[in-house]
Amino acid sequence: MSLAVPNEAERLARAASLFRRRQFADAALAFAEAASASPTATLSARAVLGEARARWAVGDAPAARDAASRAASLDPDLVAAPLLLARIAAADGNRAGVITHLRRAASLRPASATLRARIATLLADLGRTEEALAAAREALAADPDCESAALIVARCHLARGNPTLARLAVARLARHHPDHPALVPILGARPPEPRPEQAPPDTAPPEPEPARLAAPTPLRPRAPSLLDHLAIIRACMLRGLAVKYAGNPFWLPLELVRPTCVVGAHWLLFAVLQKSMPGQIPIPLFVLAGFSVWFAFNYAAIGAANAVNHPAGATAWPGVTLTHLRLARASWPLLVNLTFCLLATVPFRLVRADLPVPNLPMTFLVFAVAGAAGIGYGTLAERVTSVVPAFAIAEKLISWLLFVTCGLYFVVYDTTPLIAKFLLYNPLLHLIDFERHAFDPGYPIAYVDLRYPAAFAFSLLLLCLVAGQSVRHPAGAAP
């Protein structure tokens, strides 16, 4: 038994000698004889593989395929067997078979970029783009300089309709092989020589800090139209109502219940007290004008301030900003109180036909200024409170002072000149008196001026813009 190995080696050497002398038929028989006498699977596999090569050389493809398959099964680590099977499959035109055998060979040679690039090429030819891309990437991982793999990557990206990535792959090829002839046909023209920092850093070792790149091309400005903004505000408004009333069909009457109750209660109170009104304005109109304007201002301020607390995903959508939410939250109470103010005069007119028709332009102007002042006041208060939380107390005090001195319960003309001088600093008093004048032209407006509350509102909005610009939103927080 100890002599079996040298004998076997001699048989194999003789068969190999016949193969080298191109006596393939004799070599095939010699290899077969050596295989049958081999004591180990490894030696037997090598002999069978020799037989397969010899059979393939004489053109006996079926016998060669059979022998190569046997060799592969005898020694699964023998990489030459699947390679020969791939060649035989290629001769048969069986590309899928070639890929299968090459994959098996590649699994035995993990470092072979050539094998993987070949697989990638075949897959790309078959239109299996994703698999080709994966195989090409494996090849590049094994050898970053593998030009055929880089070309396949570019081809695959082009096939997927992604020219940017194709250009990146070509840039990579150009970096490693600047004179590669394949560069021209791929993208129609030779790409410019990439600067080192532009090439994708796709190799394992970390690259040095890149130099500054050229300035980007100017960006297309996107300016939404005014109608777009109005549509967004409307969407936010409807969303707020959906949250508040959850599909309740009586949502509109419910919105009017509160101002109706407040105005009704104060009408009764003033009637019981038999309070005298300047210019003989009817008590209902006096109360209605005062509270409507106050509610419009106050709820606009509350809405603008609270919008930031409950965006609930709205501002995550592009184009929807906190300003839209503020305006939506402030606009709805403004609209409700304006509507209530105008609708409420109808029943009064049924009772007293001599009442004058309200001055609509002035009413709209007063409510617009009240709304703007409310939005400005609420937004500014929220911004300042976010920076100085203690300001919340001062804000409550200011709101209370505005309420007490705005002329809901008194008439500035009945006060002393000294008190009137201080009361007239309240812009809401001006607005309320103008609204009463809009309802009844006999109501005096000698002390008040609409330009003052308008300037007040404008100043607040300007301050809001400045405050908004000065606050930087940290990364991870929505603006």
Q: How far is the CB of 383 from other proteins (least distance, A)?
A: 17
Q: Which of 146, 158, 232, 305 binds other proteins (CB under 8 A)?
A: 232
Q: Which of 110, 253, 319, 442 binds other proteins (CB under 8 A)?
A: 319
Interface stretch with other proteins, choices 80-88, 118-126, 220-228, 427-435 (CB under 8 A) = 220-228
Token output for 10: 């001699």
426-439 burial by CB neighbour count: b if 16+ within 10 A, else e? bbbbbbbbbbbbbb
Q: Which of 96, 312, 343, 455 binds other proteins (CB under 8 A)?
A: 312
The smaller minimum CB distance to other proteins, of residues 21 and 310, is found at: 310
Token output for 386: 């976010």
Question: Does residue number 467 form part of the binding site for other proteins (CB under 8 A)?
Answer: no
Question: Does residue number 127 form part of the binding site for other proteins (CB under 8 A)?
Answer: no
Size of the site for other proteins (CB under 8 A): 58
The smaller minimum CB distance to other proteins, of residues 284 and 303, is found at: 303
Please tell me the distance from the alpha carbon of residue 328 to that of residue 241, in angstroms, as a whole number: 10
Burial bucket for residue 458 (CB in 10 Å: 0-12, 13-18, 19+): middle
CA angle centred on 333, ends 452 and 233, rounded to 5°: 95
Interface stretch with other proteins, choices 196-204, 268-276, 343-351, 413-421 (CB under 8 A) = 196-204
| DSSP conformational letter for 409 | S
Q: What residues contact residue 469 under an 8 Å CB cut-off, 6+ apart?
A: none
What is the SS3 assignment for 352? coil
The pattern of x and - marking residues 241 through 260 that bind other proteins according to CB under 8 A reads -xx--x--------------
Q: Which of 21, 176, 195, 234 binds other proteins (CB under 8 A)?
A: 234
The smaller minimum CB distance to other proteins, of residues 242 and 269, is found at: 242
Burial bucket for residue 31 (CB in 10 Å: 0-12, 13-18, 19+): buried
Cα torsion 8, 14, 18, 20: sign: positive
The smaller minimum CB distance to other proteins, of residues 287 and 328, is found at: 328
Please tell me the distance from the alpha carbon of residue 152 to that of residue 160, in angstroms, as a whole number: 12
Question: Does residue number 197 form part of the binding site for other proteins (CB under 8 A)?
Answer: yes
Q: How far is the CB of 243 from other proteins (least distance, A)?
A: 5
Q: What residues contact residue 392 under an 8 Å CB cut-off, 6+ apart?
A: 385
Please tell me the distance from the alpha carbon of residue 73 to that of residue 188, in angstroms, as a whole number: 48
Angle of helix 163-176 relative to helix 147-159, nearest 10 degrees, comes to: 170
Q: What residues contact residue 24 under an 8 Å CB cut-off, 6+ apart?
A: 18, 54, 55, 57, 58
Cα torsion 167, 169, 171, 177: sign: negative
Please tell me the distance from the alpha carbon of residue 73 to that of residue 53, in angstroms, as a whole number: 16
Provide the Cα torsion 273, 278, 283, 289; round to 10°: -130
The smaller minimum CB distance to other proteins, of residues 313 and 356, is found at: 313
Interface stretch with other proteins, choices 69-77, 89-97, 205-213, 441-449 (CB under 8 A) = 205-213
Q: Which of 314, 322, 338, 366 binds other proteins (CB under 8 A)?
A: 314
The pattern of x and - marking residues 82 through 121 that bind other proteins according to CB under 8 A reads ----------------------------------------
Region 149-168 residues binding other proteins, contact defined as CB under 8 A: 153, 157, 160-162, 164-165, 168
Region 423-462 residues binding other proteins, contact defined as CB under 8 A: none
The smaller minimum CB distance to other proteins, of residues 153 and 296, is found at: 153
Interface stretch with other proteins, choices 55-63, 108-116, 216-224, 352-360 (CB under 8 A) = 216-224
Token output for 164: 């940017």
Give contact residues for other proteins (rule: CB under 8 A).
Answer: 137, 140-141, 153, 157, 160-162, 164-165, 168-169, 172, 197-198, 200-202, 204, 206-207, 209-213, 215-216, 219-220, 222, 228, 231-232, 234-236, 238-239, 242-243, 246, 312-314, 316-320, 472-479
